[in-house]
Structure 1
Amino acid sequence: MSFSNDVRREICSSVNDKDRRFACLYGMLLFSRTLTDRYICFQSESGTSAELFHSLFGAVFRSEPVMDQHTRKNGTVLYTCEVRDADAEAVFRKYRIAGNTRAIDSEIIATNSLGVFTAGVFLACGSVNDPSKEYHLEFACPEEGLASQLATLLHDIGVTAKTMIRRGQNIVYIKGSESIEDTLTFIGAPHCTLELMNMKIYKDIRNKANRIANCDAANIDKVVKAAMKQIEDIKLIDKVIGLDELSDELREVAQLRLDNIDMSLQEIGETLSEPISRSGVNHRFKKLAKMADELRMGGAEIEK
């Protein structure tokens, strides 16, 4: 089940009184596929949305639209609700739609619930991506004027919405997770908002864990490479002059490194018979490295 369908189900469960039914149906009608004073066609791939349209229309107009469905070649089901003739005329009168021009009536929205109206718009032409993949909510509006009005409406409630044309269709879209959260809450889907917020927290924690793991892996590689170089130097010194010729301090760190390739400098410092700091251990390894370099260059005299 998609996240969009979760939002639709939550919205539908909240449309439970006369004013909310009136406002929600207005959004569904105004943003439906076809809207004329003789024929109205509401289409959706969501059975939940189609059933709500059928129910709301019956409650508001005391008439039932013709509902049908058919399966496409790709296996998806398209649900259709049709309103004709006198019923379509009644819609235009009740919602004060002038001619066949679609426009949001600010007085109707002000009288009723703006959030529920926008919920109806979402049910008619909205969708939202699974937040585990990306943050994207959009409305595929039937006309350019409606897209512009909807974008303005969303801006007025503090939501950052943009418009574009995709394959000849007017799209109002929202990208930011916070704007999507605000929109879902506004249209009556607070539980889905919490789900999105939880997913965002999960993704943030997962990303931080990955960064820490990558950082740890890089640090481990760095420690191992440094240790291998130190062992190489120590073995050269042992072969040429013998570790017994080293001072007690150098011989002890050299032997610890030979026996513990995975030890950090700090761990070596803490393990010494007389513990020293990480920088102190690093200083001793630098002295061993200098000795090894001199031996590679054929140096006869080296500082022990």
Structure 2
Amino acid sequence: MSFSNDVRHEISTSVNDKDRRFACLYGMLLFCRTLTSGHICFQSESRTSAELFSGLFEAVFKYKPESGEHTRKNGAVLHTCDVYGEKAAAVFQKYRLAENKREIDSEIIATNSLGVFTAGIFLACGSVNDPSKEYHLEFACPEEGLAIQLMTLLSDIGVTAKTVLRRGQHIVYIKGSESIEDTLTFIGASQCTLELMNMKIYKDIRNKANRIANCDAANIDKVVKAAMKQIEDIKLIDRAVGLDTLSEELREVAQLRLDNIDMSLQEIGESLSEPISRSGVNHRFKKLAKMADELRNGGAV
């Protein structure tokens, strides 16, 4: 099941009293595919949305819409609910709908039902991406005026939304994870909000772990390159003058490096007959490097 369907299912379980049914159905009707006084058609690829529309319509109008299914070319099943004639006209009268212009009438929605009205809009034309992939929630509005009103409604709850025209539809979309969380909570999908928040925490931890791993890998590469340079210098000195010409302290650190390419400076310091600090070991390798450079330049150590 997709994250969008999880949201729809959670919403459907919360529409459980007269005012909420009335407000949710209003949102679904106002943003549905076809809305005229002679024909109302609600369409959705979500069976949950279609079944809820049918159930709400029957509860409010004591009439069950005609239901159908149509398989699209891409294999998706489109669920439809149709209302015709007098029944459609009764909807226009009860919700004070205009024939040629869709417009949200906040006066017919109880204040405490504004969230469930917006939930109805989501059920009619909304979708939200899987938060493990992308933070994106959108509403495909049937008219520009409705898109503008929806943006205003979302702005009133502190959610920043934008619009774009896509294939003739006015899309109201939300990108920020916090704005999506606020929207889902507002429309009654609090469990899905928690799921999104948990996913955000997981992604944050995973990204931090990746950054640490990348940093560790870079540090390992740096240590290996330094060790290879030290071994190159030591072998040059050995070929040119022999390690036995070195002082005891330089000869011991040189031999430890030849035998242990993966040892850190600190580990080398701790392994000496007389342990010294990391900086002390580094100082000795600098002396060896200086000797090797002098030999490369034709000088004598």
* Shared fold, TM over 0.5: yes
* TM-score in terms of structure 2 length: 0.97
Structure 2: distance between partners of 1:208 and 1:90: 58
Moved over 3 A (4+): none
State the one-letter code of the partner of 2:133. Answer: K
**Structure 1 partner of 2:219:** 219
RMSD over aligned CA atoms reads 1.1
1:37–1:100 CA contact under 8 A, matched in 2: no
Shift of 1:111: 4.2
Indicate whether 1:45 and 2:29 are aligned: no
**Structure 2 partner of 1:267:** 267
5+ long unaligned stretches in structure 1: none
**Structure 2 partner of 1:100:** 100
**Structure 1 partner of 2:176:** 176
**Structure 2 partner of 1:30:** 30
* TM-score in terms of structure 1 length: 0.96
Shift of 1:110: 4.0
1:3–1:130 CA contact under 8 A, matched in 2: yes
**Structure 2 partner of 1:284:** 284
Q: Percent identity?
A: 84
Q: CA, structure 1 residues 201+282, in 2 after alignment: closer, same or farther (shift >3 Å)?
A: same
Structure 2: distance between partners of 1:79 and 1:202: 36
Indicate whether 1:91 and 2:91 are aligned: yes
Q: List per-residue Cα deviations over 1:49-99 (Å, max 9, x = no partner).
A: 000000000000001111100111211000010111111111111111133
**Structure 2 partner of 1:253:** 253
2:19–2:110 CA contact under 8 A, matched in 1: no
Structure 2: distance between partners of 1:246 and 1:111: 88
Structure 2: distance between partners of 1:155 and 1:44: 26
Question: Which runs of structure 2 are paired with 1:92-171 in the superposition (5 Å)?
Answer: 92-171=92-171
**Structure 2 partner of 1:9:** 9
Shift of 1:138: 0.1
**Paired residue secondary structure (1:113):** helix
5+ long unaligned stretches in structure 2: none
Q: List per-residue Cα deviations over 1:118-162 (Å, max 9, x = no partner).
A: 000000000001111100000000000000000110011011111
1:227–1:262 CA contact under 8 A, matched in 2: yes
How many pairs does the alignment contain?
A: 301
